[in-house]
Chains A and B, each alone.
Chain A
Amino acid sequence: MNQAGGAIFRLLGQLARRFAVFPWLVRVVFGQPVAAVMGLTWKAAFRFRLFLVVSVLLLASVVALPLLIKDDGTARGFTQILLTYTLTTISALLGLSTLWLACGTLARDIEECQIQVVAVKPVARWQIWLGKWLGLVSLNAALLALAGLCVFVLLQWRATRLSPAEQEVLHREVLVARGSARAPSLEADIDHDTDQVLKERLQKNPVSNADLNEVRKQVREQVKAVYQVVPPGYMREWKIDMGSGRRLAAGRPFQVRIKFNSADRSPSGTFNGLWAVGAPPKTPVQRLEPMRLAPDTFHEFEVPSSLVDDTGILTLTFLNGNDTALLFPLEDGMEVLYREGGFALNFARGLGIIFCWMALLATIGLAAASFLSFPVAAFFSMGMLTLALSSGTLANAVSEGTLGGYNAEKGTPGHTAVDTVAIPVFQGVLAVINLAKQFSPIESLSSGRSITWGQLALAFSQIVLLLGGVFAVIGVAAFSRRELATAQGTQ
């Protein structure tokens, strides 16, 4: 508790220092007018009680959610779900309010004509835009810090009420920053094998060019399945390079995180798992106690870090003692986790990535308001957000190569004229969306994974600088060219 309390006070101190310095910094770096416009955004948020309302909603969600959610009954499960739900709710609430405020702060100024009095002062249009943006992102930072602090305190408080054994599990698997090591990628091998199998098939049964892509896809899936599957009575071995994990673990055990699927159901709902760790003669072998594990979900168990060989390789072997084949997905079927750092800083970095998302939303909202009226800008921004959130549909269309879908039974050709245009467009849109969506701080935090400074820097570069930069350039250009006195005022 002392440790947690200390961390909280340190965080509070840092926040207080940061916010006292921030306006001064803006004034020094961007000038007095930018700082004034930024301050105006803060005053508007307080005077219109937006800050109060959003704060209350955020805090209510942090307090109310634990009462509503259902978990697996373990402290670990509850904490994971709590982290996921609260951080998702905070992101959603903040995201919507950011878009709304971003559209309103500029579009309303133009519609209600206040901008006419501001724009005739010796302040460039880009400075007005930047001031508004800085106001929005600093407001977001404050709200996010407030909500994040509440979640952090709540988690720490709940942890203190658990038994020492449960606390240990919690701090080992959830309230921790863990690095990850995986087996080398098999994509190149799969592609190679796919090409070979496809070649053999085509020699036997030629197919038309139109179906070639589909056939290749099907063949690849089959080849991939071979790499993933462990048939009944067979063994599968993974050799994982632990890299710096061995040093960072410092004698602490690793956590092996696995997930498998099965085509058949077991009457008990679980399957036997026989695991061995180590590769003789380089290291001793340790057989783990037989486990009964449910499919389609993640499981974690500990293995000693001393079983890593001299070259840093950890060898894991699985024997399938069941009557059915088990399939370990290449993406997330096998992973070894090791302690890299504490939870507090990891949590702060996770909030940092969420903040990058908010900064992007503020940029999108302001950019839309730079050339659209308030309702249209709000609609446009919400549309963009919806598009980003529904990128799974786009991804499906891209992976199938068609909007209509391919009917394998009827042999209906999947490709239409629309697809030739739509699919490349979707691919482009997806690539852009993935620049922001490829980061998953909430999932990482709830599974106790480390969010590195590198990831945070990459998120900032991709989300704020690259994507945000593009929207900002569009927004500033539109705002600079816009005639600001066409509105007649709606005050």
Chain B
Amino acid sequence: MPEAASRAPSTPAETVVTVRGLTKVFKDFWGRAKARAVDNVDFEVRRGEVFGLLGPNGSGKSTTVKLILGLLNPTKGRIEVFGHSTRHVATKARIGYLPEESYLYRYLNSHETLDFFGNLFHLPKDQRENRSEQLLEMVGLSQTRTRAVGEFSKGMQRRIGLAQALINDPDLVILDEPTSGLDPIGCREVKDLILALARRGKTVILSSHLLSDVEDVCDRVVIYYGGKIQAQGTLGDLLAKPDSVRITSPILPRETMERLLEIIRRDVASDRVRVDTPTQNLESYFLNVVQAARQAAAETSGATSGARVAPYLRGDGDGKAGGEKLLERLTLPQERPAPAAAAAPAETVDRQKLEALTHPTAPAPITPAAAAKPQELEQANEKLSNLLGKPKE
């Protein structure tokens, strides 16, 4: 389908996915009900939002995703994607899908894989080549483009799976457990990518049981349990504690702190006031360690960090005119709605900023200066290796 035709102008409130009374019952050979995987589910996904399907294993998230994609037929209910049935072939030109496992052809190499899927989207040869190169660069597999996908580690397969989901520059990206099998750097990059896509007005549906994934990137979530939606809304609505407030500042002199507490205690009982030092999460810590190791030029046979979102996904590629790019920059929101989590992740680690922020509180984080000390770096690496498991070669 021609891309231009598939990019119909959308209103800001356009509903991309509508799910009404969706029920899926899996049956056995004799038609007897085996499991009610999804039970009378209703939700809508609007253009430009990152929508999370959250729930424990077996709660019905992946089944919902497969129903939306037309890979399963609903027992009851109705699904519309871009206003069409899930079997509408032309609509699929606007969708990118990463399944929960990277179901790729093991005998194709990375480049052939992307070329094959590009062909399914009717992309011309030069565009397929261009996008494949950019995507391989983005997911850090440009050095393994001729290796068969079957030889890849699970994480590398997830990366190439993610690349194939984006080959068509989709308007709706459906990611089922996108960070499963990825190392923390890969997880961070995927989340950055999701945010970058959302900035371009793309709609993302993220299915995950990892709370941090959802919390970091999603605007709105539904929480599944037993095939039913138990809660839904924006993260702000769901997580906010309207009866509490939190103030964060650099380290203050003791006297200032005491004065502050005294003022607060005039209005609030002492046992309801808490003072603590915010800690960095493991992900940030890990990223710092790896960044330092990368500076020490350690070699790897696996995936390298892509870090940069493919230009065409940022809206820079595919020969867009300068005016169009400028228009896009002006019309698209520059700031994402802040996720409810207190520590919104930065897209890339700004080490200078990090150093400035962490320097006064010497004990916890490793600074680049500290990273230069081989012994400490080694200890940190070992600690993380034990924690995360040895990477596959």
Closest to A117 in B: B103
Query: Which of B69, B71, B164, B168 neighbours the largest number of chain A CB atoms within 10 Å of its CB?
Result: B71
Contact B95 A33 (CB under 8 A): no
Contact A119 B71 (CB under 8 A): yes
**Minimal beta-carbon separation of A242 from chain B (angstroms):** 56
Given contacts A40-B105, A44-B105, A113-B99, contact A120 B116 (CB under 8 A): no
**A84 CA to B71 CA in the complex, in Å?**
48
**A118: contacting residue among B66, B70, B108, B120, CB under 8 A:** B120
**Minimal beta-carbon separation of B178 from chain A (angstroms):** 14
Q: List 25 A-B residue pairs with CB atoms under 8 Å apart, sorted by A's residue number.
A: A33-B119, A35-B119, A40-B116, A43-B107, A113-B99, A113-B103, A114-B103, A114-B105, A116-B69, A116-B99, A117-B103, A117-B117, A119-B71, A120-B69, A121-B117, A121-B168, A122-B89, A122-B90, A122-B93, A122-B120, A122-B121, A123-B89, A123-B92, A484-B71, A485-B72
**A117 CA to B99 CA in the complex, in Å?**
7
**A320 CA to B161 CA in the complex, in Å?**
81
Contact B117 A120 (CB under 8 A): no
Residues in chain B near residue A484, CB distance under 8 A: 71
Residues in chain A near residue B71, CB distance under 8 A: 116, 119-120, 483-485
Contact A483 B107 (CB under 8 A): no
Contact B72 A486 (CB under 8 A): yes
Contact B99 A491 (CB under 8 A): no
Residues in chain B near residue A120, CB distance under 8 A: 69-71, 92, 95, 97
Residues in chain B near residue A116, CB distance under 8 A: 66, 69, 71, 99, 103
The verdict on B104 contacting chain A, using a C-beta distance below 8 Å, is yes
Closest to A109 in B: B105
Residues in chain A near residue B103, CB distance under 8 A: 112-114, 116-117, 489, 491
The verdict on B122 contacting chain A, using a C-beta distance below 8 Å, is yes
The verdict on A47 contacting chain B, using a C-beta distance below 8 Å, is yes
Question: Quick one: which of B56-107 are within 8 Å of A by CB?
Answer: 66, 69-73, 89-93, 95, 97, 99, 101, 103-107
Give the secondary structure class of A's interface.
loop
**A35 CA to B115 CA in the complex, in Å?**
12
The verdict on B1 contacting chain A, using a C-beta distance below 8 Å, is yes
The verdict on B42 contacting chain A, using a C-beta distance below 8 Å, is no
Residues in chain A near residue B72, CB distance under 8 A: 483, 485-486
Query: Which of A36, A119, A485, A486 neighbours the largest number of chain B CB atoms within 10 Å of its CB?
Result: A485
**A35 CA to B125 CA in the complex, in Å?**
13
A residues within 8 Å of B by Cβ? 31-33, 35-36, 39-40, 43-44, 47-48, 112-114, 116-124, 483-486, 489, 491
Contact B119 A117 (CB under 8 A): no
Residues in chain B near residue A31, CB distance under 8 A: 122
**Minimal beta-carbon separation of A134 from chain B (angstroms):** 14
Residues in chain A near residue B99, CB distance under 8 A: 113, 116-117
Given contacts A113-B99, A113-B101, A491-B103, contact A122 B92 (CB under 8 A): yes
The verdict on B112 contacting chain A, using a C-beta distance below 8 Å, is yes
**A121 CA to B71 CA in the complex, in Å?**
11
**A36 CA to B117 CA in the complex, in Å?**
8
**Minimal beta-carbon separation of B173 from chain A (angstroms):** 12
Contact A122 B122 (CB under 8 A): yes
In addition to A32-B119, A118-B120, A483-B71, 7 A-B residue pairs with Cβ atoms within 8 Å of each other are A112-B103, A122-B1, A123-B92, A124-B89, A483-B73, A485-B72, A491-B106
Contact B116 A36 (CB under 8 A): yes
**Minimal beta-carbon separation of A44 from chain B (angstroms):** 6
Contact B66 A485 (CB under 8 A): yes
Contact B93 A36 (CB under 8 A): no
Closest to B165 in A: A117
**A110 CA to B113 CA in the complex, in Å?**
18
Closest to A35 in B: B119
**B107: contacting residue among A32, A44, A121, A485, CB under 8 A:** A44
Residues in chain A near residue B164, CB distance under 8 A: 117
Residues in chain A near residue B107, CB distance under 8 A: 43-44, 47-48
Residues in chain A near residue B122, CB distance under 8 A: 31-33, 122
Residues in chain A near residue B121, CB distance under 8 A: 121-122
**Minimal beta-carbon separation of A455 from chain B (angstroms):** 38
